[in-house]
Amino acid sequence: MSLLGIIASQNYPRTVSFTLDYLVVAGGGGGGNDFQTSGRSAGGGGGGGMRCTVGATGGGGTVESALSLLTNTSYSLTVGAGGGGGTNTSANGVSGSNSIFSTITATGGGGGGGHNGGNNNGLTGGSGGGAANDATGGSRTSSPVQGFAGGNGGSQGGPGGGGGGSAVGAVGTGFWPNAVGGNGGNGQTTSISGSSLVYAGGGGGGGGSFWVSTAGSGGTGGGGAGAVNGVGSNGDVNKGAGGGGGRNTTGRGGGNAGSGVVILKYPDTRTATFSGGVTHSTNTSGGFKTTTITAAGISDTVSWS
């Protein structure tokens, strides 16, 4: 090699392509809050959008293709935070934040619709949020499909269920005094981490005891249960799970949603280096390394050698 060639190789390391599988799950949506004195209902939060190349992806969509990446090249990375539950000043649950890896973006779950003098629709998201009574569930992100729409609210006080990672949130049912909250949609299963785990469950519908007799359960994959005349349960962290709907006239009534997660699977001949402070862990098995990134709300980059 010439002297110029040696200098060039030292200053510009050679890039090599490799294939990477991924799971990218956004933060879930917070559950809605009913804070009217008459006690109506509130929808559960939608599960975060789920995009995956192993086993299944969100919303019954087509499993995505693995990425072809280059060594010595930086790729963007963010784990989305879960949205907060609805309160007595802002009835709707807050939608979750997006999770990003390279060109892949998973959309945050939609917040559940609350009741604050009106019956609020669920918010749009990777999976839509469930609606308050007499309202419409939030629609899902459709390009690409990452989840399902939220459940509609039942008429005359039946609360809506939250949308999940793989199943539509159930519709609220019944009439006063036996209205039943819709169950949150079930999440989706993947074994990319080496274990079969479920992600992005939706939150169950809830509300005030004057109208609602039974709250909805949370969907598999960490969805928070709804509550009757109380605070909905929180969605599981690092699952992108939605919070349950609830009722509280003096503070937070909707359950907080869980943060998302990014999991990357690549040949064990490669070593990942992170530029910042994200929390991550790596396991090696069967010729592959699997790195799980869990720190929400921090933007970082990752490269491989």
239-250: pLDDT as tens digits: 999 999 999 999
> Among residues 132, 109, 260, which one has the least CA distance to residue 185?
109
Residue whose token pair is 């090599």: 16
β-partners of residue 33 are 246
The pTM of this model reads: 0.94
Q: Does 7 score more than 80 pLDDT? A: no
Helix and strand counts by DSSP (H, E) for the chain: 1, 19
Residue whose token pair is 């990357």: 264
Asked whether 42 and 209 are in contact (CB, 8 A), the reply is no
pLDDT category at 11 given cuts 50, 70, 90 is low
Sign of CA dihedral 64, 66, 68, 73: positive
> Among residues 237, 232, 184, which one has the least CA distance to residue 208?
232
**Count of CB atoms situated within 10 Å of the CB of 9:** 11
Q: Taking residues 202-208, report their average pLDDT.
A: 92
Q: Which range among 59-73, 95-109, 170-184, 207-221 shows the weakest confidence by mean pLDDT?
A: 170-184
